[in-house]
């Protein structure tokens, strides 16, 4: 059986993704993502066998949610002390529509027989991955963009995507798109 590395994402409008891609500070050890790689991950599943992927797709297609707007503000890094691994953009605090959609995706994965990720979910948009970079090397860049406010991103759909790892970064293929509906149901 073939498997694919799968995740569910919210994509950003191209203009916003391009703006984020253009923030690249060109710091050694910081691999900035290309615009087509920038998204918010709702759930990551890892390698999923094709039969289980079909079950997951069927469960995801049953999700109903209303369109909403996602605030894109604040720039930060994980971890916040020591050597950072990720530079990210925040999505506001306690966004109920986002957390409801995350829960629906997690429930769909469980119904499809996938193991849940038991770690707490901290929604963010990854902009870069860091390797052997000190937090102090990023401090000036982060201070310069401390008041980042990229406005509101319309969320009208989510995607099941597969990811193929390459030396230049991940290549994503959309496997399924689920559009928002006017009426929300289970």
13 assigned to some structural domain: yes
Rounded to 5°, the CA angle 75-77-79 comes to: 155
Helix (H, G, I), strand (E, B) or coil at 18: helix
186 assigned to some structural domain: no
CATH number, position 131: 3.90.1140.10
Count of the separate structural domains present in the chain = 1
Which candidate in 95, 97, 124, 145 is catalytic? 124
pLDDT digits (tens, 9 = 90+) for 60-73: 999 999 999 999 99
Catalytic, 145? Answer no
Which candidate in 39, 102, 122, 145 is catalytic? 39
Residue 182's pLDDT is: 77
Q: How far apart are CA 27 and CA 141, in angstroms?
A: 10
108 assigned to some structural domain: yes
Residue 168's pLDDT is: 76
185 assigned to some structural domain: no
164 assigned to some structural domain: yes
Rounded to 5°, the CA angle 119-177-20 comes to: 65
State the residue range of the domain holding 165. Answer: 3-179
Q: For every one of its 186 residues, what pLDDT tens digit does the chain have, with 9 covering 90 and above?
A: 689 999 999 999 999 999 999 999 999 999 999 999 999 999 999 999 999 999 999 999 999 999 999 999 999 999 978 889 999 999 987 689 999 999 999 999 999 999 878 788 999 999 999 999 988 889 899 999 988 999 999 999 999 999 998 887 789 999 999 999 976 554
pLDDT digits (tens, 9 = 90+) for 135-174: 888 989 999 998 899 999 999 999 999 999 888 778 999 9
Catalytic, 159? Answer no
Residue 106's pLDDT is: 96
Per-residue burial over 48-59, b if 16 or more Cβ lie within 10 Å, else e, is beeebbebbbeb
Residues across the chain: 186
104 assigned to some structural domain: yes
88 assigned to some structural domain: yes
86 assigned to some structural domain: yes
């Amino acid at each position: 059986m073939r498997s694919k590395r799968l995740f569910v994402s919210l994509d950003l409008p191209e203009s916003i993704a391009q703006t984020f891609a253009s923030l690249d500070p060109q710091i050694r050890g910081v691999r900035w993502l290309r615009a087509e790689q920038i998204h918010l991950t709702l759930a990551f599943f890892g390698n999923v066998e094709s039969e289980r992927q079909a079950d997951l797709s069927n469960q995801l297609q049953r999700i109903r949610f209303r369109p909403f707007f996602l605030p894109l503000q604040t720039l930060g890094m994980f971890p916040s002390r020591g050597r950072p691994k990720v530079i990210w953009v925040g999505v506001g605090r306690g966004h109920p529509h986002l957390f409801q959609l995350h829960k629906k995706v997690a429930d769909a994965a469980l119904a499809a027989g996938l193991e849940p990720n038991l770690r707490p979910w901290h929604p963010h948009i990854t902009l870069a991955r860091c390797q052997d970079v000190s937090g102090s090397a990023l401090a000036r860049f982060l201070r310069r963009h401390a008041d980042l406010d990229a406005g509101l991103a319309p969320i009208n759909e989510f995607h099941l995507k597969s990811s193929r790892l390459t030396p230049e970064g991940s290549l994503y293929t959309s496997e399924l798109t689920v559009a928002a509906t006017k009426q929300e149901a289970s």
